[in-house]
Structure 1
Amino acid sequence: MRISKRSIHNVALLTLIGVATAAPGQDSANDAPRGGARQSTSDQGQAAMDRLEGAVSRGKTDAVRLPEPVLPATDNPADRRRAFDGLRKRIPAPDMEARARAAQARGEASLAVERERQARALRQALGLEPTKEQALAKAPPAVTAKGWVPVLFVSSSMPISTLRNYAMQIEKVHGVMAFRGVPGGLRKMGPMAKLTAQILRVDPGCEGPNCVMRDVQLIVDPIVFRQHRIAQVPALAMIPGDPTQAYCERDDESPRAAHIVFGDSALSGMLDEYARLGGKEEVSHAQALLVAR
């Protein structure tokens, strides 16, 4: 078959056109994956940020809900033995132990001071101890010019009105009212504190720490009762020295009265009877104070 040159030329031209047409298609195909990769990377980054934000949020929530740490309880003897062995093998620290002991001593001293302060405030509120102002204005100890102190032996079983009358009279002669014991026993000071306040308040209807109290000393002294063989009350004795000294600091050989007067009568009548028994010198000063008031 005869082949013309023109046909060959046409075939070559068509081939070039096909190649030129295919090139843009390939470039478009190559560009499409690049754009898709950029979009996929952006999505993955956003998803990672979302996961990080969620993890932080969950961490905060879990931290709030975490329980307080507790030591595990164990009954295993081996674990306990290891724990004690570790304590025994600890390195000694003398300086730290000395500081700890000093801190403990300071704490105990501070606690003792605070207890005494509160006890004093309670005694002042109940009228068992004068305030600072009352202590400054208080008279000297109840000792007469000749050294004898009127001591009136009484009991908590006596009527409050009788005890109050005796307190008013004994105040005039700077005397002392003595009890053998306290209501309810020595371990219960509350009833005695209440009784003391009822006896010494000038106004029986007053309540609280600001009530005016009589200047009379009340003592609880079983030894002075035994020394003077007091079997009934009221009774009066003129005791030399200071009968208000704590009985735990005295003995059975401490000074005692020469006479005892028994009977439920006014203080003036008891003083007169004491003088009649031979104690005129002992009661002379107390009688003068009682008449002067």
Structure 2
Amino acid sequence: MRISKPSIHSACIALLMGAATAALAQDSNRQSAADQGQASMDRLESAVARSKDAAGRMPDPTLPRTDDPANRRRAFEGLRNRISAPDMEARARAAQARGQASLAAERERQAKALRQALGLEPAEEQALAKAAPAVTAKGWVPVLFVSSSMPISTLRNYAVQLERVHGVMAFRGVPGGLRKMGPMAKLTAQILRLDPGCEGPNCVMRNVQLIIDPIVFRQHGIAQVPALAMIPGDPTQAYCERDDDSPRAAHVVFGDSALSGMFDEYARLGGKEEVSHAQALLADH
């Protein structure tokens, strides 16, 4: 069939009008979506503002007053009315006991490792800590005041002589402070080992008591070391169990010399009776 020109023209116009209508519909949809998004943002901002206002008006939390009799009464009533749970309490006590036992075991393990590393056996440490020195005939004990800053060789030589006269080596404090006993344990081992090259737990130690006593230093006015004093009684008693009125020596000898020379000087100062027994012990070796 022959198509006339007016029919073609009408079809073109219809297509153009359809395209325009579709474009207008798309623009209308985009505008609607934009309007909806803006409305959502406005609602969100309004909700956030209301939350802030509510938080600002909310009072700060406070604890109940402990001085209020009513509060105390309610608290005690709550404790009395609580439900008893013997099984839970038993488990809690058992867990606490296991924790304490585990902590004690760990401390002992670390202490044992330290003793083995330093060559100090438990029996030797107990002897060092608890054994009282053999008091001389008249009750005077030679106490040599020393310092950890002195050469190890000098301290070892004094330890040899003090062992012969049942003397005591006194330190004012502990290297590194009282909370750090490791350095003092190491120093003790270095001083008392018969063989300075020995390592391990089987090293033989000298029978000399070492004490840490700032009070005995203050009592005798020790400002320099080495110094010797013949102290009556037991100078190894823990200083926390003594006071400033505890017995003290009549004389103090200062000077870096052999123990025999210090005894001679002590006797010259008027302490001949105090040092006579120690001099006899030193002369026998």
Match of 1:112 among 100, 104, 126: 104
Aligned to 2:134: 142
The Cα shift of 1:134 comes to: 9.2
1:192 aligns with 2:203: no
| Alpha-carbon displacement from aligned partner over 1:218-252 (angstroms, at most 9, x marks no partner) | 11111110010000000000111111111111111
Aligned to 1:155: 147
The answer as to whether partners of 1:271 and 1:287 remain within 8 angstroms in 2 is yes
Cα separation, partners in 2 of 1:253 and 1:113, compared to 1, 3 Å: farther
Larger Rg: 1
Matched letter for residue 290 of structure 1: L
Aligned to 1:283: 275
**Which SS does the other structure have where 2:231 is aligned?**
strand
Identify unmatched segments of 5+ residues in structure 1.
1-87
Aligned to 1:182: 174
The Cα shift of 1:147 comes to: 1.4
The Cα shift of 1:99 comes to: 4.6
| Alpha-carbon displacement from aligned partner over 1:137-163 (angstroms, at most 9, x marks no partner) | x98633222211110000111111111
Query: For the residues of structure 2 that align with 1:184 and 1:155, how far apart are their CA atoms?
Result: 13
1:248 aligns with 2:240: yes
Cα separation, partners in 2 of 1:125 and 1:253, compared to 1, 3 Å: farther
TM-score by length of 1: 0.62
Query: For the residues of structure 1 that align with 2:121 and 2:251, how far apart are their CA atoms?
Result: 31
Cα separation, partners in 2 of 1:140 and 1:224, compared to 1, 3 Å: closer
Aligned to 1:28: none
Cα separation, partners in 2 of 1:112 and 1:134, compared to 1, 3 Å: closer
Aligned to 1:73: none
Matched letter for residue 154 of structure 1: V
Query: For the residues of structure 2 that align with 1:253 and 1:229, how far apart are their CA atoms?
Result: 14
1:233 aligns with 2:259: no
The Cα shift of 1:129 comes to: 5.7
Matched letter for residue 84 of structure 2: P
Match of 1:263 among 255, 264, 267: 255
1:171 aligns with 2:163: yes
**Which SS does the other structure have where 1:211 is aligned?**
coil
Cα separation, partners in 2 of 1:292 and 1:130, compared to 1, 3 Å: farther
Query: For the residues of structure 2 that align with 1:253 and 1:242, how far apart are their CA atoms?
Result: 14
Matched letter for residue 111 of structure 2: A
Q: Provide the identity percentage.
A: 89
Matched letter for residue 243 of structure 1: P
The Cα shift of 1:91 comes to: 4.2
Query: For the residues of structure 2 that align with 1:127 and 1:90, how far apart are their CA atoms?
Result: 56
TM-score by length of 2: 0.64
Cα separation, partners in 2 of 1:264 and 1:249, compared to 1, 3 Å: same
The Cα shift of 1:112 comes to: 2.5
Aligned to 1:219: 211
Number of equivalent positions: 204
Query: For the residues of structure 2 that align with 1:174 and 1:121, how far apart are their CA atoms?
Result: 30
Correspondences of 1:32-43 after superposition (within 5 Å): none
The Cα shift of 1:288 comes to: 1.2
Correspondences of 1:21-32 after superposition (within 5 Å): none
Correspondences of 1:197-208 after superposition (within 5 Å): 197-208=189-200
Query: For the residues of structure 2 that align with 1:133 and 1:264, how far apart are their CA atoms?
Result: 29
Identify unmatched segments of 5+ residues in structure 2.
1-78
The answer as to whether partners of 1:163 and 1:199 remain within 8 angstroms in 2 is yes
Query: For the residues of structure 1 that align with 2:191 and 2:124, how far apart are their CA atoms?
Result: 21
**Which SS does the other structure have where 2:229 is aligned?**
strand
Matched letter for residue 267 of structure 2: A
